[in-house]
Structure formats: C-alpha cells, structure tokens
Amino acid sequence: MKKTFQKSLIAAAVGVTMSGAFAASVGTSNILFPYISTGANAVTLITLVNGGTATVPTYRYAMKAIGAANSVGCDHQDGTSALTANDVVQFEVSNKFVANTAFANGDTSVGYQYAGGANKQGFLVVNAGATVNGAAGNTLIYGEAIVIDAASGLRLAYSSQGLNTDFNAANPDFTVNDAGATGGPVAAAVVSPSGSTQNTAHGTNVVSWLNSAAVTTSWYVVPLGTQAEMTPSGVIGGLTAAYSMTDGLGNGGQFGAYNMTEAFQSGGQLSTVRCIGAIARSDVLMPGVVTATAAGGTANLVTYNNAVSTVNTADGAPAGGTSQTAHKSLVYKVQSAGTGANALGFISREAAR
C-alpha cells in the first residue's frame, strides 16, 4: 500500500511537470521557495539547475507544524550539497522517496533534505553564494518546485522566476524592490489612491475570495527580509509582521472589505504572523464584515512592521526592535473545496499593488 501510494504521488508529480506549469526563469545566485510541505500525505519535489560553474550552495529551511498558531516561530535547518557545471538535481525535501531511483534517471547528485519531521510547512532559501562564476552579473542557478498533497487535493507548481533577489553572497535581501530581471520578488510599496496612512509605504496585495459556502479561502503569507532575518539559526523564530484588510480605493483608507455589490463594509483588525502563517478573513475583519462579505468580495491585504528578533544578530541581522521599512510579504491565496476523494486545493500568488 505504501509503495502504491508513493507511486501515485510520483506519477502526479511527473504529470504536473509535463503540463508545462512552470514559467521561464532567470538565473540568479539565490532562490526563495516560498511554500514546501512535509505533510504525511504530501510530496515536495525540488529541481535545481546550475547554468554556471561548479558550486556548493547552502540550503536554509524555515518550517513549522501544519496548523500551528501564527504566533509560533519556525525551526531552522541548513546544509550544503554540490552542484557541478550544467548539473540538474531533483529531490523530495523530506526523503519520502529518492528521486534518482524513482525516476531511474541515472543521476548521482543529491540535494540537501529536511530532517525536522513530518507534517510541517514553510520555505527554503537556496544560496549559491559567490562561487557561481564568481561574479554578481553571472550567477546562473534556476529552480522549480512541485507540491502535491493527496489528502487535501492540493496541487501547486512554480518556478524560481520572480522569487530571487539581487546578488549578495552572504545575506541576500528579499525586500529589494523588484526591477524586472533583478531585484527582489515584490515591487516597491505603493501609496494608496486615498492617501491613507494605513496603506502608505506598506506592502499591499489585492485579494479576493469566492462564496465561502462553496470554497474555503485563506492566505499563506511569508514576511520578507534578509536571509538571516527570515531563517535565523539562534532560536526557533523568524520575522514577525502584522496584517489587516483595507479598502485603499477612496474611503479614506478604512479597515474593512468590499462585498460583491461594491458596497464597502468597514471594520478590521490586526493579525500577527511569525515566520509564516495562514490568515483567514476572520483574523483581519470584524465578525459583522466577515458575514457581510461571505458571498465573495475584495480588499487590500496590507503588511505592517516586519520586526526582527534580537537573536538574529548572530546571523548578521539588525539588533532587536529593528523594523524593515519595506514592510513586504509574499501573499498566496489558498482555496479548498470538497472532502475525501473529491477534495481539491489550489494555491496562487496574489498580485501586489
């Protein structure tokens, strides 16, 4: 039964790969894989391609138990594995199967796998450092990820396009403004059209949701900072950010959301996340607004105050109490419907304003 289950997951992973789900990717010295899972019924297949000279990248995992409170920090694990020139490496992050054997591809290269236990989710930073062709302008690692959960019906596939940042061998900064092929994964923070203080100079994502009677919607968020701030080695932790929903479209930047008839429903609250987290509408909207927008709606999900812990200083991060002025996050919509064999789940990245 176990082998049959693994074969079905492997077959599904191959199917996603062959479907052409990946966008073109820009070669970089660092990659952020924002969502990976070691769920009991899940596989996460990572592919790394080295378009430069031989290198030994570092892998930094930040993971927490699936379903853990947003206030709980992530645990840390790091290590290395070699990439030769023109190398391609494929591995399942929690070693549920050995990709080289399962795919009979003849490769002898291996990645660095997470050994911190099952039923966790989080992110992975791969940093090739200065050894990839030895220069900032000639760094060429690429990445792809497939996440499949047989229990929840989740299907997710993404490339490293837009999930890298400017070259920094020691400590890449993922809050650097996106500038196309260079820069970080998120554009510069925008000022709300209403000029509100709630949205000014904060990362803002336009979010929407379907009727909650048919589809359950939440948002998976990753507060952004430097590699050291996001994956501290000194203690279970990570960056902390607060989130809320606002209008951002002309009602003075009020907290709240729009329903499906474009009527604004005011009333919001802050929800704090450490390292990674899942945000439901009930976390950032008042109960009456949750009910008034149950049939569907839209709002701006705003990121506030990416605070840094004092223990991060050993990794080269700022002292405690320091906040990132960029206030940026990666935001992904998580949608699920059905149960059992009919369960379906999707994760898609929300657009930044």
For the chain, the three-class secondary structure string (H helix, E strand, C coil) is CHHHHHHHHHHHHHHHHHCCCCCCCCCECEEEEEEEECCCCEEEEEEEEECCCCECCEEEEEEEECCCCCCCCEEEEEEECCECCCCEEEEECCCCCCHHHHCCCCCCCCCCCCCCCCCEEEEEEEECHHHCCCCHHHCCEEEEEEEEECCCCEEEEEECCCCCCCCCCCCCECCCCCECCECCCCCCCECCCCCCCCCCCECEEEEEECCCCCCEEEEEEEECCEHHHHCCCCCCECCEEEEEEECCCCCCCCEEEEECCCCEEECECCEEEECCEEECHHHHECHHHHHHCCCCEEEEEEEEEEECCHHHHHHCCCCCCCEECCCCEEEEEEEEECCHHHCEEEEEECCEC
For residue 21, pLDDT beyond 60: no
The answer to the question of residue 198 being in a domain is no
Mean pLDDT on 49-56:
83
pLDDT tens column, 111-135: 899 999 999 999 999 998 754 444 4
- Mean pLDDT over all residues of the chain? 80
Q: In this structure, how many other beta carbons lie within 10 angstroms of the beta carbon of residue 171? A: 15
Domain match, 99 and 217 both = no
Q: What is the pLDDT of residues 84-106, one digit of tens each?
A: 888 889 999 998 876 666 665 66
Whether residues 154 and 12 share a domain: the answer is yes
Kindly state whether residues 300 and 234 are assigned to the same domain: yes
Q: What's 85's domain CATH number? A: 2.60.290.11
Domain presence at residue 175:
no
Is residue 186 one of the residues assigned to a domain? no
Split into its structural domains, the chain has a count of 2
Q: Sorting pLDDT into bands at 50, 70 and 90, what band is 138?
A: low
What pLDDT score was predicted for residue 10?
43
Please determine, for residue 204, whether its predicted confidence score (pLDDT) is greater than 50: yes
> What pLDDT was estimated at residue 196?
46
**Lookup result for tokens 């789900």:** 21
pLDDT greater than 50 at residue 282: yes
Give this prediction's pTM: 0.85
Q: pLDDT-based confidence at 65, cuts 50/70/90?
A: very high
Is 132 found in the same domain as 220? no
234-242 mean pLDDT: 81
Q: Single out the residue of 254, 112, 268, 276 nearest to residue 196, CA to CA.
A: 254
Instruction: Specify which of 44-48, 149-153, 324-328 reaches the highest per-range mean pLDDT.
Output: 44-48
Whether residue 182 contacts residue 239, with contact meaning beta carbons closer than 8 Å, is answered with no
What pLDDT was estimated at residue 181? 62
pLDDT at 228: 87
Are 111 and 220 part of one and the same domain? no
- For residues 233 and 119, membership in a common domain is answered with no
Do residue 155 and residue 210 come from a single domain?
no
**Is residue 315 one of the residues assigned to a domain?**
yes
Q: Is residue 30 part of a domain?
A: yes
Give the range of the structural domain holding residue 77, as residue numbers without chain letter. Answer: 2-159
pLDDT exceeds 60 at position 320: no
Sheet with 120-127, side-by-side order of all strands: 30-37, 120-127, 58-65, 75-80
pLDDT value at position 92? 93
Q: Summarize the confidence of residues 185-192 as an average pLDDT.
A: 69
**183 domain residue, yes or no:** no
β-sheet bridge partners, residue 210:
none
What is the structure's pLDDT at 2? 41
Is 165 inside a domain boundary?
Answer: no
Looking at the fold, whether 43 and 113 belong to one and the same domain comes out as yes
Give yes or no: residues 125 and 212 share one domain: no
Q: Answer with the one of 159, 178, 195 that is the final residue of a domain.
A: 159
Confidence bin at 303 (pLDDT 50/70/90): confident
In this structure, are 98 and 208 located in the same domain?
Answer: no
What pLDDT does 201 receive? 56
| Parallel, antiparallel or unpaired: strands 154-159 and 344-349 | parallel
Do 89 and 214 sit in the same domain of this protein?
no
Confidence at 183, pLDDT banded by 50, 70, 90:
confident
Band (321; pLDDT cuts 50, 70, 90): very low
The whole-number average pLDDT for the span 302-321 is 55
Give yes or no: residues 138 and 268 share one domain: no
